[in-house]
Amino acid sequence: MEYVALRAVIALCRAVPAVVADRVAAALGWVVARVWRPRWDVVTGQLRMAFPGADEGWRRWVARRSYVHFCAEAVAMFRLAGARRAGILERTRLNGEEVLKEAAREGRGVMLVSGHLGNWEVGTAGVVARGFPMDIVAARQRNVLFDRYLTRSRERLGMRVIPRDEAQRGVLASLKEGRVIGIMGDQDARRAGVFVDYFGRPASTARGPAVLSMRAGATVATFYTIRRAGWKPRYDIYIEPVQAAGGGRGRAAVAAVTRAFTARLEERVREHPEQYLWHHRRWKTPPPGRAESGTTTDRVCVD
């Protein structure tokens, strides 16, 4: 029943012009932010932690806009599976394409570390539409039918999907083939993560992107897709190489790379806070010194 309902919503989103679907979704997001407000305490609480010196009215505005943005971009994602290459190229601009071209010339893979900012699905489609072979690491959905539909939709656009629980082997193989990997790097990694500062607070961050890119000798870059202002859904894709001080392959190097891409994400979120998904608890896991029990392990965590 969930799957049937979802397919009905997707069909409705595709049946109307893109601008109409986008504006209706934005209006629904405004209603949700004013009336239903799911996870409102999480959203506003994290905005207070990230922007302690900001005006409370501004934080509420950002919170409401994040709901509007989420609803509008969910519709954009629903419409994406039926999009043609020409349409994807028309609605996206890629900044940093030379990073991918240089890695391709050298026969190296590229680890694109993204965050829940803007519309990451549209950005991935924009990279693939420009001829770069790309795989994405994705969690399996609880609803098996929806999981299959989402995987087929992504594959139809030219992506390959690596299940998150198979990421360590699959990502290494893809990077060694010289492919581009898209992976999220802004979710709480629990005790398996490395703690780096995010908005001035230590946040458990997956060490997988740093570890796997080092093992494969791949380029590491951040990857964001920001929606441009205007009525029509149009996006700017940014690929920015990560420069980490030090070098090497040990724990210090992993922490340096993780710290570098996390700092870059923070910069982008500060520029567009209303386009960030504040709904997940980024600082859920406390650092070891503040926890009552539990120790950090050396297991590679890919998130």
Q: What is the pLDDT of residues 47-76, one digit of tens each?
A: 999 999 999 999 999 999 999 999 999 999
Residue tagged 């990502």 (tokens): 171
Q: Is residue 300 part of a domain?
A: no
**pLDDT band for position 296 (cuts 50, 70, 90):** very low
Alpha helices in the chain (DSSP H): 2-15, 18-31, 40-50, 56-80, 85-91, 97-106, 120-129, 144-156, 167-176, 208-216, 251-271
Within-domain flag for 21: yes
273 pLDDT higher than 50: yes
Whether 76 is covered by a domain: the verdict is yes
d(CA 276, CA 292): 31
* Residue 303 within any structural domain of the chain: no
Rg (CA), the chain: 19
Each residue's pLDDT tens digit, 222-267: 999 999 999 899 999 999 999 876 567 789 999 999 999 999 999 9
Residue with tokens 């980024």: 282
Numbers of helices and strands, H then E, in the chain:
11, 9
Residue 133 forms part of a structural domain: yes
Give the number of other CB atoms < 10 A from CB of residue 13: 21
Q: Is residue 296 part of a domain?
A: no
| Count of structural domains within the chain | 1
**pTM surpassing 0.75?**
yes
Residue 303 confidence (pLDDT) above 80? no
Burial of 3 (0-12, 13-18, 19+ CB in 10 A): middle
Q: What pLDDT is attached to residue 243?
A: 83
Residue 297 lies in a domain: no
Range of the domain at 239: 2-290
In angstroms, the Cα distances linking 87 to 6, 92, 103 are: 24, 9, 27
In a domain, residue 32? The reply is yes
Q: Strand pairing of 110-118 and 219-227?
A: parallel
Q: What are phi and psi of 71, to 5 degrees?
A: -65, -45
Q: Which residue has the tokens 């934005």?
A: 26
Asked if pLDDT for residue 300 goes beyond 50, the answer is no
Expressed in angstroms, the distance from the first to the final Cα of the chain is 29
